[in-house]
Chains A and B, each alone.
Chain A
Amino acid sequence: MAELDLTFVDRVVAEMGRRPEATIPILQALQDHYRYLPAEALRRVCDITEITPARIAGVSTFYNQFRHRPMGRHLISICHGTACHVKGSRPVHDALLRHLKITEHEDTDADGVFTVQKVACLGCCTLAPVLQIDGITYGHLTIDRLPRVLEDFLQLSATGAAAAQRERPTGSREGWGEIRIGMGSCCVARGSGGVQEALERAVERLGVRAIVKRVGCVGMCHQTPLVEVLAPGRSAAMYAQVQAEDAEAIVRRHFPAAGLGRRLRGAIERSLDVILTDEAWEPVTRYTIEVRDPPVAAFLGRQQHLATEYCGHIDPIDLDEYLAHGGFQMLEECLRKRSPAEIIETVRASGLRGRGGAGYLTGRKWEQVRAAAGSPKYIICNGDEGDPGAFMDRMILESYPYRVIEGMAIAAHAVGAEEGVFYIRAEYPLAVRRVGEALRLCKERGVIGDNLFGTGRRLNLRIMQGAGAFVCGEETALLASIEGRRGMPRLRPPYPAVEGLWAKPTLVNNVETYALVPWILRSGAAAFAAMGTGTSKGTKVFALAGKIARGGLIEVPMGVTLREIVEEIGGGIAGGKRFKAVQVGGPSGGCVPAELADTPVDYEALTAAGAIMGSGGLVVLDESDCMVDVARYFLEFTQDQSCGKCTPCRIGTRRMLDILERLVAGDGRKGDLEELEHLARFIQKASLCGLGKTAPNPVLSTLRYFRSEYEAHLEKRCPAGRCKQLVKYTISDECIGCTLCAQHCPSDAIPMTPYEKHVIDQDKCIRCDTCKQVCPVHAVCTA
């Protein structure tokens, strides 16, 4: 093997510094460069910095992002988030490994082209199941489509089309029309980038007076790519599920072509189009939707946009536009006119509670940081949204970076902090880019920096990227991570408000919490408190995904019931199945059954129902979902993400998972359910941090509402027909003998018998679900 070029290490160290807190950024840079962490490079880092071998070994083996062995040329990250899980990510993952002939204990194919890794959640839940290859996202995967996905990617990467998107504001022009296109990560994954380019080309070619404007997430993920057209003097029109080839037709429909020559040419082309491609209009017309359409009205009707204000209207990183919509006015006013005490009083009176999960009163936390002795004080934005099935914070950071910055800056002023950190998951590259760009522009304009709005006040913010550890969402673990250590929580008290980053008073709030602050100060505490319930005020952003007809990102007033969310906003269950439960709050939350769907969105009511508000993931489950499997799924997640410090979480969750794995395999024993409860109670009681204390919730809530399903598994039955080891695949008389199943079966369990009913050899069947997915007449049954 050729000797490794270590000059890159020296360059990185020169840039990042030699202090121990630079450990994670240095490792991230090395991993980017070498695609893994060669031992020689790590030793070199220890030689030329203050970072010890113990530190570098501990940190580099703690975070999922870091690899210690070489990686294939392309990295496939396959999402195992909740929505992906219930939509079959496991069989897809298995099929991918089979397709690439990657054996157990390996993660890279023999040719070193693809490395496959499992990721906790890519936050594209409405596209489930999802995978990402080198930053390009593919959604709605089926076993069948996998080979085409890989081919498509290899083609893209060969042509260089996979290069990074640009991040610059589009701007606006007086009197011109706007063609808005949502460009959140999910939209991009569904092809918004191509549509945007096609629209730009069409506008350019037709010379129309319109600007193609990238806007943030519109929330209607089920309709993306979503294009909204605002032509001067005409009402807005919205087009859903737009394809690149629809672009020109859309532009023409709303804007007259400019200039005689162009207009003429356009007219000729238009007539040609009408004649030649009459059908081409079909998709556009079919997908045209308007706000007054019942489904759209239902989706948007209950929503109230506070954290997501100007949803679908503004360019995420256009600072001028944010300013034009009243952005940063509140910050300036706070800096100039409002005392910290006044600000804190407003936040307190609004009743705002932390949106990260635990729901601590924000005003009280600010007061504690304000009152704490010690300086400097720090401010942290917790953007380490790791819950599988949740993508609210990603969307807010991607779509409204300025709003979060403003909220943070107001908070910093209120608590007396001059230094701060955005801690954002590395899995959210677009959010990192946009916040980075937004911070740069803010500094340029003096909105943040050493002299805010010329008032002489300071606030410096920087971004730290998480390195793949769910537990870093826990505030003490997050602080350890910023300090360049393993993200292991510590006992509280002392709370970060008193002893936080570098043992100084530190305010840690979640993305959504900060995003609500400007609205509250502008509209007043009373306006915010007027929304919601007795103890839960204002609005809450939810990621609605799973077996729902209209998934997406929604912001609703507190007090709305789960049923209203599922049935009105989400349009009920997709595919005519029966609504079974909503998983609320991810791995710390629980499953609220359909019978209790009238539970309001309220911190206390959700807790009483066995769930938690959590950060806002809502995964809807239908009758085909097995609740024991869902519980097992979450325990597998927490077990995988446990930091390993305290006994209850490290070993206790493993023992719970052991039992659940036995149950889904039909090997359950008498007393298993009681043992699950015993372990659950102990883990809740004795775990060190919130991750551990809440880890048993998914099991307890399903045991509470779906105990009969557990009992069925003890008798080796899976009523939902979901648990692989307990189901049998058979082919019914509906079979038309098309041979598709036989062609696709990876284990040759189905003999090819054209025009005859096919039969599955049970001994050979590996229950991969492929036949069921490819059968055109739903003749494959599971029981």
Chain B
Amino acid sequence: MPKLVIDNREVEVAAGATILDAARKLGIGIPTLCHLDGCTPSTSCMVCVVKLKNLGRVVPSCGTRAEDGMQIESETDEIRDARRAALELLLSDHPGDCLGPCQLVCPAHMDIPRMLRQIAAGHPADAAATARDALVLPATLGRICPAPCEKGCRRAQHDVGLAIRLCHRHVADAELASGVRLPTCKPATGKRVALIGAGPAGLAAAWHLLGEGHACTVFDAHPEPGGMLRYSIPAETLPRDVLDAEIAAIARLGAEFRMGMRIGRDIHLADLQKEFDAVLVASGAPKDGHAATISPEPSPPPIEVDRRTWQTSVRGLFAGGEVVHKHRMAVRAVADGAAAARSVSLYLAGLPITEPQRPFSTRLYMTTHEEMARLVAGASAAMRIDPTGGEAAGFTPDEARREAPRCLHCDCRKADVCRLRQVSAALGASPSRYHGTRRPFEQDLRHARIVYEPGKCIVCGLCLQVAERAGEPLGLALLGRGFNVRVGAPLADSMADGLRISAAECVRACPTGALAFKDE
């Protein structure tokens, strides 16, 4: 029974156990990619490295046997740097996007590819939920948003970008017609939040706070909610029934609107602070344009705002939307409201308020002609659909269903479960540290159930082991050597030949998006 010390904590493990086993016994989390319980360690990714203090050597913990008297360091800067370096190298040869360029460009980070797949699959209600979850006001924004997503769409490099805005407008309109399906909120926390301002930021914040189980009351000096959406945008651009219906959904989710209430006149900030657990000021652009401070009451002194966390210098008081960040796009205000709501939620939960991280994503950046051809091969070849009734009328259900499959599906099917992505995000690895020679983006769609993207493979060989154990007649092999090594079916060209019985198991074993279910 070897006894060893990891990060100054002693542990005893069974003979034959690895350092990784010992660390787990201590509850020390060592990240792994190429390791899978029950498989032979491949010791290839080098993300699980630790330092043997006595020998001064850095070794992979997954394959190194624990020995008596070992002194091991895991949580040190040196080891974290080494793990990050391994990840940054893996990311530098990982042609693919975790999230589609459209999604990264969208200020609210709407999962656009998912919405398009839902439309293409004939699930418009699910698509509407995807849109509303991020945009809160998808039908409204579907009429007024300048749609940066469409400019970011990779398909534009091939012919014309997807009509994303018309798509989300279409599904949202359809949902408004049949009644918005509300999301399930978390159990009530008993906390109450006052929101000052019923514009896009305030509305979005309310939606998200309600979702977190907090009660929300929205105060606004105007007679009706909507802020600039109602008072600056002409009704022919944004019909009021659309706006009303979307606000009504927020009210149905539980928001209480107290209109015609001007702060400093009808009600005082100090009172709100007493009555509510938190106050979020989202009252629109200040007249003097000084956005680093807010003056919720007509009389000074102004209150300072931390623009990264939406906190003010006053405990429990937050500020979001145009009052803090000047922007011209309503979708930015929505995104800002959501981010401020996140800070408020953290505060209410008694957690430290951190700056929100941009979602982690690798980027394919510029594609070659061949790569573009491969991407297009998996999508509808049709040109962009123009609504027959004109832009103002929007898509018919059929038009939306024909437009949506034009999406190239740039995003990764396993973005939510990819271990490379999770570990990289956790260790702060930069996906763009190196730009150099990389494998091409390739896609093998010939298997009935799974898609294989060799460029995303980290050559851990787990699928080889899984396939062999499952008794695959052909199985998989490592082909080639060095930087060009790849996993493939031997003496055949397609995964369909190599994985006849163990495809699903291989997808689950694969630590990245190299092997994924087609419909994921």
Binding site for B on A (CB under 8 A): 39, 42-43, 46, 52-58, 61-62, 469, 486, 490-491, 493, 639-648, 650-652, 654-655, 658-659, 678-679, 682, 685-688
Task: Out of A57, A640, A647, name the residue touching B491 (CB < 8 Å).
Answer: A57
A contact patch SS = helix
Task: Out of B89, B90, B477, B484, name the residue touching A53 (CB < 8 Å).
Answer: B477
A682-B86 Cα distance, complex, nearest whole Å: 8
Chain B positions within 8 Å of A640 at CB level:
482
A58 touches B85 (CB 8 A): no
A691-B478 Cα distance, complex, nearest whole Å: 20
A688-B43 Cα distance, complex, nearest whole Å: 8
Q: Can you list, as one digit per residue, whether each of B83-102 has a CB less than 8 Å from chain A (1) or not (0)?
A: 00110011011000000000
A543-B27 Cα distance, complex, nearest whole Å: 54
Query: Known contacts A42-B491, A491-B60, A648-B86: does B477 contact A654 (CB below 8 Å)?
Result: no
B477 touches A655 (CB 8 A): no
Query: Known contacts A53-B490, A490-B43, A658-B434: does B481 contact A642 (CB below 8 Å)?
Result: yes
Q: How far is the CB of B145 from chain A (nearest CB, A)?
A: 38
Q: How far is the CB of A650 from chain B (nearest CB, A)?
A: 6
Q: Does B269 contact A (CB under 8 A)?
A: no
Q: Does B46 contact A (CB under 8 A)?
A: yes
B92 touches A62 (CB 8 A): no
Q: How far is the CB of B432 from chain A (nearest CB, A)?
A: 13
Q: Does B197 contact A (CB under 8 A)?
A: no
A647 touches B436 (CB 8 A): no
Chain A's closest residue to B40 (CB) is A490
A654 touches B436 (CB 8 A): yes
A39 touches B491 (CB 8 A): yes
Q: Can you list, as one digit per residue, whether each of B377-415 has a CB less than 8 Å from chain A (1) or not (0)?
A: 000000000000000000000000000000000000000
A520-B474 Cα distance, complex, nearest whole Å: 53
Chain A positions within 8 Å of B45 at CB level:
646-647
Chain A positions within 8 Å of B434 at CB level:
655, 658
Q: Does B468 contact A (CB under 8 A)?
A: yes
A486-B459 Cα distance, complex, nearest whole Å: 14
Binding site for A on B (CB under 8 A): 41-47, 49, 58-60, 63-65, 81-82, 85-86, 89-90, 92-93, 434, 436-437, 458-459, 464, 468, 474-485, 488, 490-492
Chain A positions within 8 Å of B42 at CB level:
645
B437 touches A646 (CB 8 A): no
Query: Known contacts A39-B491, A42-B491, A678-B85: does B480 contact A54 (CB below 8 Å)?
Result: no
A56-B491 Cα distance, complex, nearest whole Å: 9
Q: How far is the CB of A6 from chain B (nearest CB, A)?
A: 15
A655-B436 Cα distance, complex, nearest whole Å: 7
Task: Out of B43, B89, B477, B491, name the residue touching A652 (CB < 8 Å).
Answer: B89
B490 touches A645 (CB 8 A): no
Chain A positions within 8 Å of B468 at CB level:
54
In the A-B complex, the 8 residue pairs with the closest CB atoms: A57-B490, A658-B436, A644-B485, A54-B477, A53-B490, A651-B89, A642-B482, A682-B85
A686 touches B49 (CB 8 A): yes
A641-B481 Cα distance, complex, nearest whole Å: 8
A647 touches B90 (CB 8 A): yes
12 new A-B contacts at CB < 8 Å, known A642-B482, A644-B485, A650-B483? A640-B482, A644-B483, A646-B45, A646-B46, A647-B458, A648-B85, A654-B93, A654-B483, A658-B437, A659-B436, A685-B58, A685-B82
Query: Known contacts A53-B491, A491-B60, A651-B92: does B483 contact A58 (CB below 8 Å)?
Result: no
B46 touches A686 (CB 8 A): yes
Contacts between the two chains (Cβ within 8 Å), count:
128
Chain A positions within 8 Å of B64 at CB level:
491
Query: Known contacts A42-B491, A53-B477, A57-B491: does B483 contact A642 (CB below 8 Å)?
Result: yes
Q: How far is the CB of B442 from chain A (nearest CB, A)?
A: 17
Can you pick out 17 interface pairs between chain A and chain B where the beta carbons lie within 8 Å of each other? Answer: A46-B491, A52-B490, A53-B475, A53-B492, A54-B475, A54-B476, A58-B477, A58-B490, A61-B481, A62-B480, A491-B60, A640-B482, A644-B478, A648-B46, A652-B89, A654-B93, A686-B46
Task: Out of A491, A641, A679, A686, name the residue touching B482 (CB < 8 Å).
Answer: A641
A52-B484 Cα distance, complex, nearest whole Å: 22
Query: Known contacts A686-B49, A686-B82: does B60 contact A644 (CB below 8 Å)?
Result: no
Chain A positions within 8 Å of B479 at CB level:
57-58, 61
Chain B positions within 8 Å of A679 at CB level:
85
Chain A's closest residue to B479 (CB) is A61
Chain B's closest residue to A486 (CB) is B478
Task: Out of B43, B60, B436, B482, name the residue touching A650 (CB < 8 Å).
Answer: B482
B482 touches A639 (CB 8 A): yes
A655 touches B89 (CB 8 A): yes
A62-B483 Cα distance, complex, nearest whole Å: 12
Chain B positions within 8 Å of A651 at CB level:
89-90, 92-93, 483
Chain A positions within 8 Å of B488 at CB level:
57
A647 touches B43 (CB 8 A): no
Q: How far is the CB of A40 from chain B (nearest CB, A)?
A: 10
Q: How far is the CB of B441 from chain A (nearest CB, A)?
A: 17
Q: How far is the CB of A409 from chain B (nearest CB, A)?
A: 34
A490-B480 Cα distance, complex, nearest whole Å: 18
Chain B positions within 8 Å of A654 at CB level:
93, 436-437, 483
Task: Out of A493, A641, A648, name the residue touching B89 (CB < 8 Å).
Answer: A648
A491 touches B63 (CB 8 A): yes
Chain A positions within 8 Å of B474 at CB level:
53-54
Chain A positions within 8 Å of B43 at CB level:
490-491, 645-646, 688
A57 touches B436 (CB 8 A): no
Chain B positions within 8 Å of A493 at CB level:
65
Chain A positions within 8 Å of B492 at CB level:
53
Q: How far is the CB of B50 from chain A (nearest CB, A)?
A: 11
Chain B's closest residue to A678 (CB) is B85
A648-B60 Cα distance, complex, nearest whole Å: 12
B85 touches A686 (CB 8 A): yes
A54 touches B459 (CB 8 A): no
A57 touches B85 (CB 8 A): no
Chain B's closest residue to A57 (CB) is B490
A53-B92 Cα distance, complex, nearest whole Å: 31
Task: Out of B89, B458, B475, B482, name the residue touching A643 (CB < 8 Å).
Answer: B482
Q: How far is the CB of A479 from chain B (nearest CB, A)?
A: 16
A486-B92 Cα distance, complex, nearest whole Å: 26
Query: Known contacts A491-B43, A648-B89: does B481 contact A686 (CB below 8 Å)?
Result: no
Q: How far is the CB of A59 from chain B (nearest CB, A)?
A: 9
Q: How far is the CB of A634 from chain B (nearest CB, A)?
A: 15
Select the residue from B47, B81, B89 with max chain A CB neighbours within 10 A.
B89
Chain B's closest residue to A659 (CB) is B436
A203-B476 Cα distance, complex, nearest whole Å: 63
B89 touches A645 (CB 8 A): no
Task: Out of A55, A491, A643, name the residue touching B59 (CB < 8 Å).
Answer: A491
Chain A's closest residue to B57 (CB) is A685
Query: Known contacts A651-B92, A651-B93: does B483 contact A686 (CB below 8 Å)?
Result: no
Chain A positions within 8 Å of B93 at CB level:
651, 654
B478 touches A655 (CB 8 A): no
Q: How far is the CB of A65 from chain B (nearest CB, A)?
A: 12
